[in-house]
Amino acid sequence: MATGRTHRPATRSRGIPEATVARLPLYLRALTALSERSVPTVSSEELAAAAGVNSAKLRKDFSYLGSYGTRGVGYDVEYLVYQISRELGLTQDWPVVIVGIGNLGAALANYGGFASRGFRVAALIDADPGMAGKPVAGIPVQHTDELEKIIQDDGVSIGVIATPAGAAQQVCDRLVAAGVTSILNFAPTVLNVPEGVDVRKVDLSIELQILAFHEQRKAGEEAAADTVAVPPVAARKQQHSTGSADKGPDGDVPAVMPA
């Protein structure tokens, strides 16, 4: 044996599974909606339905945070909103820079749900000198030259890359060198970053290709149903129907720029 390595650092109780972390924002959104409608409590069943997951998963997820529910009753909405927000680090302010103010960058800058959570657009950056000073979403665009200064002055630790693919790695290197440790990448490229820097990517074309795969399979299975005597349990398969891209292991969507 001894194949396994470090087993687990076991920081104890701080070990929230990655899959759970990825769902917390979903729960938070559903809870916020309930809160706005002044609903005082929810059962795991109701909340799960609103978030698009099943109740067993939701309860297990919450169990990693602690015991915030009341047996026989459910969860206190306001309390849960607070606990999840705190767990996600949304009770503090996160200044964010967006680099690449093309169609997509502008769209991101205008995104409302941005400020509603703890995020604040600290600056919009573009390499085109012609863009400099032009306001987008009420914020003047600044030239790439200012990047390092802005990051240091505002203590920015999260950067969003919405540039063409060709510029992404270079922008990434500068962000990291200036102190950014989390990057959301919309450019269709693999970014190389040093250890300790987190990268998440969003890639439209990848999402479409995954849909195309399933679409093709649906068509193929239909056709097969005519020719072959449908094998025992064939078409069953767990279509991710209702739950949305529930299992999507990655989750990409390339920048919206003529790559």
State which of positions 164-223 bind a second copy (CB under 8 A). 181-185, 188, 190-218
Sign of CA dihedral 224, 230, 231, 235: positive
Per CB under 7 A, does 7 bind DNA?
A: yes
Per CB under 7 A, does 26 bind DNA?
A: no
Closest CA to 126 of 171, 158, 94: 171
Nearer to a second copy, 71 or 242 (CB): 242
Binders of a second copy among residues 39 to 98 (CB under 8 A) are 50-52, 87-90, 92, 94, 96
Distance CA 166, CA 45 (A): 46
Q: Which of 8, 12, 14, 236 binds DNA (CB under 7 A)?
A: 8
Q: Which of 43, 157, 181, 182 binds DNA (CB under 7 A)?
A: 43
Give the range of 30-38, 42-50, 111-119, 142-150 binding DNA by CB under 7 A. 42-50
Q: Which of 3, 72, 130, 247 binds a second copy (CB under 8 A)?
A: 247
Nearer to DNA, 37 or 71 (CB): 71
Q: Residue 195 CB, nearest distance to a second copy (Å)? A: 5
Per CB under 8 A, does 3 bind a second copy?
A: no
Per CB under 7 A, does 6 bind DNA?
A: yes
Give the range of 1-9, 89-97, 178-186, 222-230 binding DNA by CB under 7 A. 1-9
Distance CA 188, CA 205 (A): 8
Q: Which of 32, 35, 55, 181 binds DNA (CB under 7 A)?
A: 55
Binding partner of 57, given a second copy, DNA, none, CB within 5-8 angstroms per partner class:
DNA
3-state helix/strand/coil string of the chain = CCCCCCCCCCCCCCCCCHHHHHHHHHHHHHHHHHHHCCCCEECHHHHHHHHCCCHHHHHHHHHCCCCCEECCCEEEHHHHHHHHHHHHCCCCCEEEEEECCCHHHHHHHCCCHHHHCCEEEEEEEECCHHHCCCEECCEEEEEHHHHHHHHHHHCCCEEEECCCHHHHHHHHHHHHHHCCCEEEECCCCCCCCCCCCEEEECCHHHHHHHHHHHHHHHHHHHHHHHHCCCCCCCCCCCCCCCCCCCCCCCCCCCCCCCC
Binders of DNA among residues 238 to 257 (CB under 7 A) are 238, 247, 249
Q: Residue 72 CB, nearest distance to a second copy (Å)? A: 26
**CB count in 10 Å sphere of residue 146:** 14
Residues marked as binding for NAD(+)?
Answer: 100-105
> Which residues make up each annotated binding site?
100-105
Contacts with DNA by CB under 7 A lie at 1, 3-8, 17-20, 42-45, 54-57, 59-60, 62-63, 67-75, 238, 247, 249
